[in-house]
Structure 1
Amino acid sequence: MARIAPKLRKAYTMCAQALVAERVSLDASEELGLNVDLPIFSVGQAGELADIHPQTLRQYDRLGLIVPQRTPGGARRYSLRDINRLSQAQRMSQEESINLAGITRILQLMEENRQLKRQNRQLRRRMEGNVVFEAAADGEVIEVQRVRRVREPSPYRRTILQITAR
């Protein structure tokens, strides 16, 4: 596991708190440039952020409800995506009395829905012609947003527009 700078760790922690408080979405976190799959939080940190006892986190892992990534030494590390799922699972369990099998299925469907919405946004941008592909520094092909210049209509066209508007 790579170590991250204290300021970046703080940004991830603040984002996790905002996710739990439902002030930000996972997609918005990604758009801010945060890697929502970066395994950064220990069991204790994740439990504190999501207000879940660490033993409950371990139980969720054993049941396959929320399976964190592991360090080479076997320690659990939770990502922003995991924190978001933990928070949602806790809410469904406590407030809506949904059983763990139901929570598992709901979380799967929510993630599938999020991915489909994301693909839909990408397809819309492509259809609108606002997307261009270019090579990144490492040679990977990336998608970038094209900026269109707005031209001032010619005086002739402006006159036609004024006449047709009447």
Structure 2
Amino acid sequence: MSTPPFAREPNPDAAVYVISVAAELTGLHPQTLRAYERMGLIAPGRTGGGGRRYSHRDLERLREIADLTSSGIGIEGVRRIMALEHQVDALRARNDELVAEVDALRRVLAARSAPGQVVNKLPVLHQAVGQSMVVWRRPR
């Protein structure tokens, strides 16, 4: 049985909110949303007629900007914090890819070796608490 269209999770990147609704949902003035767009902090979608349309992800970003500025951080600081958060997310994703690749290589090596024979020369990975990873290399 398929899920009815109204019961599905909405796409967080679907640009559906007009500026007045986005302003109301974030507690910001529409002029503030326009100013953030001019500063390059947000890039809402556009309709064929040029009207702004904000996604759920845009609203989350606007709330984050509002939280940072209300705590006394300037626009350039907000821009830098958001760039660093984006970089951290990209590095985490790349780290996950590399861990999966090492796991796949371990499985291939294990399948090739005879029972009881240790052929694995890959580094030993120890997952530490707090999303960090320690790589120990065996001496040759």
TM-score range, shorter chain: 0.5 to 0.7
SS of 1:128's partner is: helix
1:52 Cα deviation from its structure 2 partner: 1.4
Deviations 1:29-51 (A, max 9, x none): xxxxxx44322222122222222
User: Which runs of no fewer than 5 residues in structure 1 stay unpaired?
Assistant: 13-34, 131-166
Partner residue of 1:112?
Answer: 87
Question: TM-score normalised to the size of structure 2?
Answer: 0.61
Partner residue of 2:38?
Answer: 62
| 1:122 corresponds to which of 97, 122, 127 | 97
In 2, the alpha carbon distance for the partners of 1:88 and 1:73 equals: 29
In 1, the alpha carbon distance for the partners of 2:12 and 2:102 equals: 27
1:6 Cα deviation from its structure 2 partner: 5.1
**CA 55–101 in structure 1, closer or farther in 2 if over 3 Å, else same:** same
Equivalent residue pairs, number: 101
Deviations 1:46-95 (A, max 9, x none): 2222221212101111221212121111111122332221111000011x
Deviations 1:90-131 (A, max 9, x none): 00011x21111111121111112112212222332232229x
**CA 6–46 in structure 1, closer or farther in 2 if over 3 Å, else same:** farther
- Give me the CA root mean square deviation: 2.2
Q: Percent identity?
A: 37
Runs (4+) off by over 4 Å: 5-8
Contact 1:68 1:82 in 2 (8 A): yes
Partner residue of 1:86?
Answer: 62
SS of 2:104's partner is: coil
